[in-house]
Each structure stands twice: as C-alpha cells, then as structure tokens.
Homo-oligomer: A and B are copies of this chain.
Amino acid sequence: MSHSDFDLTSQNESVDSKIIATLERLSQAFRVLLWQESKEFSLSPIQVQLLIFILHHSEEKCRVSYLADEFNMTKATISDSVKALIQKDLVKKEFQQHDTRSYLIHLTTKGQKVADKASRFTTEIRKPIESMDESNKENLLKSLLDTVLHLNQTGIITIQRMCQTCRFYQKDSEGQDHFCALLHRPLHIADHRIDCPEHELIG
C-alpha cells in the first residue's frame, strides 16, 4: 500500500468524533486526578468530591438529598459517605429545629484544611488553559457552556445552576445580548456562570 492510499477525510472520523474523543480523554484525566488525590488523603473519590463541594457552596445545599442529585447518586450512597467522613472527623451534622429529619453538613476545621488542599486536584488541567489567549478562552467557554446547556435540557446533567436556566436570565430577540435581572447587568460570555450561588430555576 502506498502512502497515497491513505485518505484523511474518509479513513478518519469527523471533527465531531474527534471532539468527543478528546472530551472523553479529558474526562478520564479528571477521574485519574481525583483518584490520585483521594489516595493521597486516604479518602475515596466521592468523599473528596463531597468535601470540595461543601467548601464551595452555601449551607442550604449541603444536605444528603441535594448532594445525591448533584452527584447523580442515590441518597443511600451519599449517606454512607457522609457517615465515613464523620468518622474521620472531617464533617459534622447540624440539625435544625424546623425539620429534624434533615440536617446540614458542615466541614470541621480539619475538614476545611483537607478540602482546601484537595480542591487543587485540577491544577494540571488548569495550566494549559491558563496559557491560552483570552479570545480562545471565551470561545472555548462558550462552546462548552452550550454543550452543558444541552445536557441540562435533556436531563443527563440534572443540576441546574447556570445562567441559561435561571429565572433572572434574559436574552434579546436575536439571542446576541444576555442580561442578568438580578445583578442588573449585561452578561458577556466571560460573565456567564456555570455554578451561580444566586441561581433560581425558571418557573
């Protein structure tokens, strides 16, 4: 077979497939990094994820049911992991008067330290992104946000805290200009959030 028999376009997959394949690789990288990080702290991957989530989110989100939705797992699974974290003295329960079925999960001082260190597990993925120029970053963010939005709408990603699914989000008729009615501000692409603390679902 001579080299001219190779044909890049027909032999190889489409650009779409390549993007998917690349995203799959990145997905694997997250898995590997999380696993490494877990080992370092003698925790399980899900335990690390819980700690990091609690560190970065307001207390009303730190309940078993919410976390189960967040991580696409059952409440039983989360309940187990929380039990393990309590035994390791990394989180503690805080019951409330008005509903004693539920409780808030708080980090202990020790838990805070661990969560803080562990949240750096994406450092290696961050580096190549930091070195991109700003317009590339914006384009990349826009493409990725569009993809996540679609996955939100089809129910594969259940958690909804991005601007496009928020009741404060407004768009002009051409779909060009975006606006946040809570902040009273136009939203440029770089302003769009993927995990907004003020998010409220439409409807």
Q: Which of A78-86, A90-98, A104-112, A190-198 contacts B (4 or more CB under 8 A)?
A: A190-198
Number of interface residues of A (CB under 8 A): 66
A157 within 8 A of B: yes
Known A30-B23, A124-B154, A148-B25; contact A141-B72, beta-carbon cutoff 8 A = no
Known A156-B29, A182-B3, A194-B22; contact A15-B148, beta-carbon cutoff 8 A = no
Which applies to chain A's interface (DSSP): helix, strand, loop or mixed? helix
- Hey, which bits of chain A sit against chain B, CB under 8 A? 3-4, 6, 8, 12, 15-33, 35, 71-72, 122, 124-130, 132, 134, 136-141, 143-151, 154, 156-157, 182-185, 187, 190-195
Task: Add 5 more A-B contacts to A19-B141, A20-B129, A129-B147 (CB < 8 A).
Answer: A8-B183, A8-B187, A27-B30, A31-B31, A140-B143
30 A-B pairs with C-beta separation under 8 A: A4-B184, A6-B183, A6-B185, A8-B183, A12-B191, A15-B134, A15-B141, A16-B126, A16-B129, A17-B126, A18-B193, A19-B140, A19-B141, A20-B125, A22-B194, A23-B30, A24-B30, A24-B122, A25-B157, A26-B144, A26-B151, A27-B31, A28-B157, A124-B150, A124-B154, A125-B147, A132-B146, A136-B139, A139-B140, A140-B143
